Structure 1
Amino acid sequence: SFDGDAVTLTGFVSPGDAGAGFLLSRFVITHCVIDAQLAAVPIAWGGTAAPEGEWATVTGTVRSDSDGRLHIAADSVETVPEPEDPYEY
């Protein structure tokens, strides 16, 4: 189980459920750019999120919801420049 693990993730900000923070997203490529799939993790954050579409680095703790889905309870959210290679492989 990942519940309780400390993590630092970088991705672009997408809207989450109303009042529930935001999503931190990256495109993952398994073969070539045409097969890129969006991967997103919910971020629970009581502060001001980076603007939608901006890149951010989130540091926090993995938490498990009652239904088993995971989210990150953020301790910090910092706006950062887009990485030179924005994809995950």
Structure 2
Amino acid sequence: MLTVAQEFARTLRDLGIRHVFGVPSGNMIDYIEAITSSNHYFGVPIFRVNRFRSYQKVLAGAFSAKRPVIVEAVVNGSEYDELLLRPNK
């Protein structure tokens, strides 16, 4: 059974809505997750990868696609902590 947020996201897609804008906070989080959690984002296939061993395979599939795709790569954000500008450094 779909949640209200998932049904809302599906209806937006079915109506041809291609862009959604908003501030990710409060109750909007459920809607944003529903919109972005499918295997397609408004008709564009999403290739997801979260393991180092899978990156090459997923990227090869994305580059061989005959249409636009989205590659969602999950990374460890803590690896970028040293790159952030901080006022105390």
The structure with the largest helix share of the pair is 2
Higher relative contact order (CA 8 A, sep 6+): 1
TM (norm. structure 2) is 0.25
The structure with the largest strand share of the pair is 1
Larger Rg over CA atoms: 2
TM (norm. structure 1) is 0.25
